[in-house]
């Protein structure tokens, strides 16, 4: 190639053409540095016919500066970038940025300096120095990390370097990852598991696109089963990607993975340090043949990494909402993973006990192959689910747990068994108001109440992160000691349990308390070792965990999820409760589940109590078919926002005036979004419902192109939206 076109990471730039200097080898997918005015930019070499733009005359072309020392992005990945941008109406530049997600990785192999104790004593000892020497035995890390580890300032540590107590060591930045052994500890599979595993292993060997829906009840051993095709992929020298919905689950997974394969997988998530990101990114781009990454476990962003030789994708808990990204490029990692598998010509496994209706529909129409694990491993029974009708069995005044649930908790504590109370509300109370004047605490940046967090003594907005300390007097009427908490959050339930069962050991499990991998790991260990009697948790505890002594699950408010006007509210409630119920009775003792509800007759609740999954899915399918909702029709949302309310409203109205008309298309709006103010921006929304055969993306892009929006106005397109806020 002597002339190339670049995809840059900046959507304000047009496509750019360059010439390739003599002697420089450049192929499509190469990551290069090129001049732009007085600056230099990074770009990806792209096929010119796939990146429309004005051609620059040969005489005006400037030359590529350098090809960066990373493998070129494969054709499969380039097609995935194009598809994702097209499908989600997002700029290709933004999708490409998710691929090149570690700037540091673009520089070649390099070294860095770490520090460690030499064993010498300093001439002058201080308490700080003593503390550092004490706490840093056996550690080797950067000065910054050693400072974090020891709680001693970087200055003191540098003093110890001068004194010869700490010495520098030069290490390669990208230490190789320990290899996994596919035959390290192979479990004996049940006949049912063996059949499913065999089918998946065959698919891996076939090296062809094959989407599977692994539909197995909670506790059926889905993980053990999909470990077999992972082992096969490792044997073939190819790479595996396992997507998990939550960091807290990763810890659990890592432990099981190490037990099975004798080494940890490579992790990818947002809390990696930049050196860890770089190391993982480079290992993933090298591939196992060159000592790189074999198995990567990660959050949804791991989907866009430049795997050298991907052989299998597993999406665990594939129904989870957290696979949907709601800012930047609004994509659903579950759906994109199937597309990636298609471009890479490999199998993809969507595993779940409560598959999304869309996935079941794909299986029914023969597009996905469905594999079933209908019973729990080791003969454990699925738990019995019973409703507590709160209109008949009322909790005591000022309490939230009905007498029957309290009795069940007491019973488990007496027997030394574990209980789990589920309430999908972080904090102490969802609303705080003044008893005297009725003032309600609201977020200044969002249309949302502030949630009281008593453990950390703050009122917090769960949308923008705004926080204040609870004031001593009402900000409106000035009355002292007049604030009352309305409704329960998990902290309040934990307080109630502590009053009822003073001797119980209680753990609150939410994204506030399990906010790092270390804390999550500690929680899992304590729960497994029986050091916790009652777990009070949000949706974080509904999935993945396996605590054999847990025999009681209490759902504090089964109706909570049905309240919002969400399209998938019924399905989500069903999934959440079925998943949390699935935590009970996974060991040898049978489990019991109690649902507190005011609507035991609601179809979702009745289906749960009767254990009739098919009835629920059938009813939900019919309702969706009737409404033209996914998977039978399509939804999209357009959100128009600005810091200036009038500007946002005008832009939305103007866009509304130029709306397209078509028979198979219904456009609702503009209307203020339910979250009319979010992070200081006023928001107006259109909802679009279309038949399946409509080219929705094209219509939306053409429609948006009819308008010029002022610079303060932001347009967000959400294809297949989950959240209707």
3-state secondary structure 632-686: CEEEEEEEEEECCHHHHHHHHHHHHHCCCCCCCEEEEEEEEEEEEEECCEEEEEE
Reported in sequence order, the residue ranges of 260-413 that DSSP labels E, i.e. its strands, are 266-268, 295-298, 310-316, 347-352, 369-373, 384-389
**Cα gap 202→208, rounded to integer Å:** 10
CB of 428 to ligand ADP, least distance (A): 31
Q: Binding to Zn ion by residue 463, rule CB under 5 A? A: yes
Sites of contact with ligand ADP (CB under 6 A): 187-190, 193, 216, 218-224, 377, 546
Specify the residue, 201 or 443, whose C-beta has the smaller distance to Zn ion.
443
Q: Binding to Zn ion by residue 349, rule CB under 5 A? A: no
Residue 445 binds what, of Zn ion, ligand ADP, none (CB under 5 to 8 Å, by partner type)?
Zn ion
Strands 681-691 and 239-243: unpaired
Out of 345, 464, 560, 602, point to the residue binding Zn ion (CB under 5 A): 464
- Residue number of the CB closest to ligand ADP reads 221
Specify the residue, 65 or 464, whose C-beta has the smaller distance to Zn ion.
464
Specify the residue, 174 or 224, whose C-beta has the smaller distance to ligand ADP.
224
CB of 371 to ligand ADP, least distance (A): 12
Q: Interior CA angle at 572 toward 570 and 576, to 5°?
A: 120
CB of 160 to ligand ADP, least distance (A): 46
Residue 443 binds what, of ligand ADP, Zn ion, none (CB under 5 to 8 Å, by partner type)?
Zn ion
Helix 75-87, helix 333-344: angle, nearest 10: 140
Specify the residue, 376 or 683, whose C-beta has the smaller distance to ligand ADP.
376
Residue 224 binds what, of ligand ADP, Zn ion, none (CB under 5 to 8 Å, by partner type)?
ligand ADP
Residue 687 binds what, of ligand ADP, Zn ion, none (CB under 5 to 8 Å, by partner type)?
none
Report yes or no: 650 and 661 within 8 Å, Cβ to Cβ. no
**360 phi and psi angles, rounded to 5 deg:** -60, -40
Report yes or no: 29 and 73 within 8 Å, Cβ to Cβ. yes
Residue 446 binds what, of Zn ion, ligand ADP, none (CB under 5 to 8 Å, by partner type)?
Zn ion
Report yes or no: 256 and 226 within 8 Å, Cβ to Cβ. no
Residue 579 binds what, of ligand ADP, Zn ion, none (CB under 5 to 8 Å, by partner type)?
none
Residue 222 binds what, of ligand ADP, Zn ion, none (CB under 5 to 8 Å, by partner type)?
ligand ADP
Specify the residue, 466 or 543, whose C-beta has the smaller distance to Zn ion.
466
Q: Which of 486, 487, 482 is nearest to 434 (CA)?
A: 482
Specify the residue, 464 or 623, whose C-beta has the smaller distance to Zn ion.
464
Residue 469 binds what, of Zn ion, ligand ADP, none (CB under 5 to 8 Å, by partner type)?
none
Report yes or no: 19 and 64 within 8 Å, Cβ to Cβ. yes
CB of 247 to Zn ion, least distance (A): 23
CB of 260 to ligand ADP, least distance (A): 9
Out of 413, 446, 532, 719, point to the residue binding Zn ion (CB under 5 A): 446
**385 phi and psi angles, rounded to 5 deg:** -110, 130
CB of 467 to Zn ion, least distance (A): 9
**Cα gap 477→532, rounded to integer Å:** 43
Strands 506-509 and 451-453: unpaired
Out of 341, 461, 550, 652, point to the residue binding Zn ion (CB under 5 A): 461
Q: Is 600 helix (H, G, I), strand (E, B) or coil?
A: coil
Specify the residue, 463 or 589, whose C-beta has the smaller distance to Zn ion.
463
Name which of residues 415 to 444 contact Zn ion (CB under 5 A): 443
Q: Which of 323, 282, 273 is nearest to 303 (CA)?
A: 323
CB of 676 to Zn ion, least distance (A): 12
Query: What is the full DSSP assignment across 457-521?
Result: TEEE-TTT--EEPPPSB-TTT--BS-EEEES--HHHHHHHHHHH-TT--EEEESTTTS-SHHHHH
Q: Binding to Zn ion by residue 5, rule CB under 5 A? A: no
Residue 187 binds what, of ligand ADP, Zn ion, none (CB under 5 to 8 Å, by partner type)?
ligand ADP
Burial class (CB in 10 A: 0-12, 13-18, 19+), 326: middle
| Length, in residues, of the chain | 725
Q: Binding to Zn ion by residue 506, rule CB under 5 A? A: no
Specify the residue, 187 or 656, whose C-beta has the smaller distance to ligand ADP.
187
- Residue number of the CB closest to Zn ion reads 461
Q: For Zn ion, what does the binding mask look like between residues 466 and 505, x meaning CB under 5 A? A: x---------------------------------------
CB of 685 to Zn ion, least distance (A): 18
| Residue ranges in contact with Zn ion by CB under 5 A | 443, 445-446, 461, 463-464, 466
């Amino acid at each position: 190639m002597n002339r190339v076109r670049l995809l840059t990471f900046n959507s304000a730039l047009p496509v750019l053409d360059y010439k390739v200097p003599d002697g420089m080898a450049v192929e499509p997918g190469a990551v290069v540095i090129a001049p732009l005015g007085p600056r230099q930019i990074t770009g990806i070499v792209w096929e010119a016919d796939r990146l429309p733009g004005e051609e620059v005359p040969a005489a005006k072309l400037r030359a590529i500066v350098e090809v960066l020392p990373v493998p070129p992005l494969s054709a499969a990945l380039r097609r995935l970038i194009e598809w994702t941008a097209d499908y989600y109406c997002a700029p290709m530049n933004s999708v490409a940025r998710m691929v090149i997600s570690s700037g540091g990785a673009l520089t070649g192999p390099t070294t860095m300096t770490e520090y460690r104790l030499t064993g010498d004593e300093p001439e002058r000892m201080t308490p700080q120095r003593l503390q550092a020497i004490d706490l840093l035995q056996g550690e080797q890390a950067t000065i910054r990390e050693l400072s974090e580890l020891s709680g001693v300032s970087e200055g003191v540590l540098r003093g110890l370097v001068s004194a010869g107590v700490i010495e520098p060591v030069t290490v390669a930045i990208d230490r190789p990852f320990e290899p996994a052994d596919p035959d390290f500890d192979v479990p004996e599979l049940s006949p049912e598991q063996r059949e499913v595993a065999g089918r998946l292993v065959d698919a891996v060997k076939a090296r062809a696109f094959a989407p599977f829906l692994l539909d197995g009840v909670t506790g059926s051993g889905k993980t053990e089963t999909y470990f077999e095709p992972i082992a096969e992929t490792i044997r073939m020298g190819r790479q595996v990607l396992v997507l998990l919905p939550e960091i807290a689950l990763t810890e659990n997974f890592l432990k099981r993975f190490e037990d099975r394969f004798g080494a940890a997988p490579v992790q990818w998530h947002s809390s990696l340090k930049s050196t860890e990101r770089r190391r993982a990114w480079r290992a993933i781009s090298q591939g196992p043949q060159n000592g790189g990454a074999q198995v990567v476990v990660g959050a949804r962003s791991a989907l866009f990494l430049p795997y050298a030789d991907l052989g299998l994708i597993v999406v665990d808990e594939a129904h989870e909402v957290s696979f949907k990204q709601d800012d930047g490029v609004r994509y659903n990692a579950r759906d994109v993973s199937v597309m990636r598998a298609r471009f890479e010509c490999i199998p993809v496994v969507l595993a779940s006990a409560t598959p999304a209706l869309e996935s079941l529909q794909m299986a029914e129409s023969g597009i996905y192959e469905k594999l079933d694990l209908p019973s729990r491993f080791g003969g454990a029974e699925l738990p019995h689910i019973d409703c507590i009708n709160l209109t008949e069995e009322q909790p005591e005044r000022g309490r939230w747990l009905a007498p029957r649930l309290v009795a069940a908790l007491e019973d488990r504590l007496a027997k030394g068994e574990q209980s789990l109370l589920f309430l999908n509300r972080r904090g102490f109370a969802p609303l705080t108001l003044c008893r005297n004047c009725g003032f309600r605490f609201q977020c200044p940046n969002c249309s949302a109440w502030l949630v009281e967090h008593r453990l950390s003594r703050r009122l917090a907005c769960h949308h923008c992160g705004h926080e204040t300390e609870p004031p001593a007097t009402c900000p409106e009427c000035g009355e002292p000691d007049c604030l009352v908490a309305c409704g329960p959050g998990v902290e309040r339930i934990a307080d109630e349990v502590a009053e009822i069962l003073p001797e119980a050991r209680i753990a609150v499990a939410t994204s506030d308390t399990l906010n790092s991998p270390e804390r999550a790991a500690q929680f899992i260990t304590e729960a497994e070792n029986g050091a916790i009697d009652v777990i009070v948790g949000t949706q974080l505890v509904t999935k993945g965990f396996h605590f054999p002594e847990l025999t009681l699950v209490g759902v504090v408010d089964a109706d909570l999820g049905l309240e919002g006007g969400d399209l998938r509210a019924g399905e989500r409630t069903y999934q959440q409760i079925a998943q949390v119920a699935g935590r009970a009775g996974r060991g040898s003792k049978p489990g019991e589940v109690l649902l507190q509800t005011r609507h035991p007759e609601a179809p979702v609740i009745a289906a749960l109590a009767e254990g009739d999954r098919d009835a629920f899915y059938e009813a939900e399918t019919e309702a969706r078919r009737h409404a033209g909702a996914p998977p039978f029709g399509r939804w999209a949302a357009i959100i128009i926002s600005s810091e200036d309310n009038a500007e946002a409203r005008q832009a939305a109205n103007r866009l509304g005036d130029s709306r397209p008309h078509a028979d198979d298309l219904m456009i609702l709006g503009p209307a203020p979004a339910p979250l009319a103010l979010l992070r200081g921006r006023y928001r107006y929304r259109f909802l679009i419902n279309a038949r399946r055969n409509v080219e929705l993306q094209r219509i939306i892009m053409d429609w948006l192109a009819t308008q010029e929006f002022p610079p303060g106005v932001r347009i967000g397109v959400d294809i297949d939206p989950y959240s209707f806020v």
